[in-house]
Structures are given as structure tokens and as C-alpha cells.
A and B are shown apart, each in its own frame.
Chain A
Amino acid sequence: GAVVSQHPSRVICKSGTSVKIECRSLDFQATTMFWYRQFPKQSLMLMATSNEGSKATYEQGVEKDKFLINHASLTLSTLTVTSAHPEDSSFYICSANLAGTGELFFGEGSRLTVL
């Protein structure tokens, strides 16, 4: 199956700093990638849809200025959590779908801990 790789897998940062998470589709091109957030013992919540070459589409309630998304190429999308606070601590997972199939492939996830 298609492979989506995410980096870093774990990151700890101080409150007020920014953290960048990368999501790469390794063996296929993804014009669209998706960023989900998962709090402990909860479900996955879609944050935004990342579109190659254009602005991301954010879900209601997600601050676009806080969660910066860049999708500069067909294989890479980045999520930057700006001015991170402890409440941003979560498991962030990216995904991409194989064109024409609808099947979604997830990255390994990135666990962010903000101190």
C-alpha cells in the first residue's frame, strides 16, 4: 500500500515556541493531505485540508494563524504549531489519499508535548 511518513514522532517544547511537523507521501503524489488531532482517549478530529499550491482549508474552530499549513510540493505538507501552549499537547496525524481510491493512508503521528 501507499506510504505516508511523518516526522518527528515525538517532540517536547517550551510554551511559546513553534514546532514544525512534516508529512511526506513516499511513493505517490498527494495533491491533498489532511491533518488530524487526537487528544488522549478521544477520536481523531480533522483540523484542516492541505492543498498543494494553494491555501489550506480549516475546519470550524481551528485557528489558521496558530496552525500554519504549507503544502509546497506534491509529496510534502507541513504543520507548524505557533506559540505553542500546554493545551496544544496532542497527537497530530497527517494523512493522504491515493487518487481515485478514496482510501486514506496515515502517517505515524507526532506526539507534541508543550511544557
Chain B
Amino acid sequence: GENVEQHPSTLSVQEGDSAVIKCTYSDSASNYFPWYKQELGKRPQLIIDIRSNVGEKKDQRIAVTLNKTAKHFSLHITETQPEDSAVYFCAASGTSYGKLTFGQGTILTVHP
């Protein structure tokens, strides 16, 4: 089955700095890669996603890059704000929509 590795497990930045979280996956058949933000005790919220036919996608301060050859994808958050502090999860899925394999999560802390 699919295996997703996520790094780092914790990330601390100053407000205004950029944050980068990286994930690797094992199944070359995976074709959908979402990123979720989860606040304590709440449901994961989709913040951005990318499909395997695209190398990069951007939405305001958030961007995701995908390298299919190397089987890794990254989340980039620019101009971080304290409200960006949360746990971020990457995930991957293949042809079975919705059957996501999640990374271990990254606790992002943005200091004012």
C-alpha cells in the first residue's frame, strides 16, 4: 500500500517568514495530493491540493509543488501569520478517490 512520510514533525518560524513542509510517497500510481490544516479538536480543512498532471499550484500565500519522478511534494507558506499556527497534514491517494494515506503531520508555530 501507499506510504507517506512527512517532515519536519515540528516547525517554528517568526511571523512574516516562509514555512516549507515536505512529503514523500511510495506508490507511483498516486495521483492526488491534498494538504490539510487541522486545529486542535477540529476537522481537517483542505487548504490546497494538486494532481499528478500539474507541477505547481498557488493560492495566495500558499503553494504546492509536485515532483512525480522523485515522488515528493511540498507545501510552501509565505508571509506566515500567527493564525497559520496549526497541524498540517499531507496526503496521497490513487484511483480510489477519498482513500487517503496521510503523512504524520507537522506542528507549525508562527511566533508574533
* A:91-115 near B, CB below 8 Å: 91, 93, 95-97, 101-104, 106-109, 111
Q: Are B43 and A104 in contact (CB under 8 A)?
A: no
Q: Are A44 and B89 in contact (CB under 8 A)?
A: yes
Number of B residues with CB within 8 Å of any CB on chain A: 22
Q: Are B34 and A103 in contact (CB under 8 A)?
A: yes
Distance in angstroms between the alpha carbons of A50 and B28 in the assembled complex: 25
Q: Which secondary structure characterizes the binding site on chain B?
A: loop
Distance in angstroms between the alpha carbons of A20 and B102 in the assembled complex: 25
Shortest CB distance A49–B (Å): 6
Partner of A44 from B49, B51, B102 at Cβ < 8 Å: B102
Shortest CB distance B69–A (Å): 22
Q: Are B99 and A34 in contact (CB under 8 A)?
A: yes
Partner of A43 from B41, B96, B103 at Cβ < 8 Å: B103
Shortest CB distance B102–A (Å): 5
Question: Residues on A close to B: CB < 8 A?
Answer: 32, 34, 42-46, 49, 91, 93, 95-97, 101-104, 106-109, 111
